[in-house]
Amino acid sequence: MSSTIFTRAFDRRVRTLLTVLGISVVVGGAFGTHTLWQANMEQGYSPAQPLAFNHAIMAGTHKIECTYCHTQALKGPHAGIPTVADCMKCHKEIQTKDGEGHLKEGLAQLNEYWRAKTPIPWVKVHDLADFVYFDHSRHLQPHTGLQCADCHGDVAKMDRVTRVNSLKMGWCLDCHMQAPQKNTPEGWTTRAPIHCTTCHR
């Protein structure tokens, strides 16, 4: 009884084939993981900030309106981030101490920025490519029925802001392509325009 069913040349070819397959599975797997991992990074992106600003305390516990701080959201393309002077409208008075009688760390930092007259270098959580046009005020008109949370998730529960949506083209289009809602302007066949120049101009 011979153990070699195949010729040596065939045997070698099978082995080469298996090796090539093995390599492509490894490389393909790595590429796939890399792509997925990148996508995850963008979606769950939650960078540390220079000062531990906590939306769950400010917008959650103390129920300060989103647009009290992000004043431009209803008026123009950018929502805007409050300046140190805006913070000090409240924090000249509010100087809360911790259990040991020290000023809370975030507030001590805030006072430093105020004294040094330097802006806080916040790290952007959302940042669309420059070739995309987006406008907050267009989305937040009363007739659209949209809320901050529809795009940003429940920020009032976040200790640290996380990007809950990818901001990819598909995400924008998923919403724009929905069938017209009862508040959609007359004559539109989708919920919002989808021609390329809506967002690329």
Q: Please give the residues from 47 up to 76 whose contact with ligand HEC meets the rule CB under 6 A.
A: 49, 51, 53-55, 57-59, 62, 64, 66-70, 73
Q: Is the dihedral of CA 115, 118, 123, 128 positive or negative?
A: positive
Q: Cβ atoms within 10 A of the Cβ of 179, count? A: 8
Residue (43 or 125) nearer to ligand HEC, CB: 125
Size of the site for ligand HEC (CB under 6 A): 74
Q: Restricting to residues 21-40, which ones interact with ligand HEC according to CB under 6 A?
A: none
CA 176 to chain centre: 19
Residue (5 or 131) nearer to ligand HEC, CB: 131
Beta-bridge mates of residue 97: 103
CB of 8 to ligand HEC, least distance (A): 50
CB of 113 to ligand HEC, least distance (A): 8
Q: Does 159 bind ligand HEC (CB under 6 A)?
A: no
Q: Does 103 bind ligand HEC (CB under 6 A)?
A: no
Report the residue number whose CB is nearest to ligand HEC.
106
Torsion of CA 129, 133, 135, 138, to 10 degrees: -150
Residue 145 contacts residue 181 (beta carbons within 8 Å): yes
Stretch that binds ligand HEC, among 6-14, 15-23, 25-33, 171-179 (CB under 6 A): 171-179
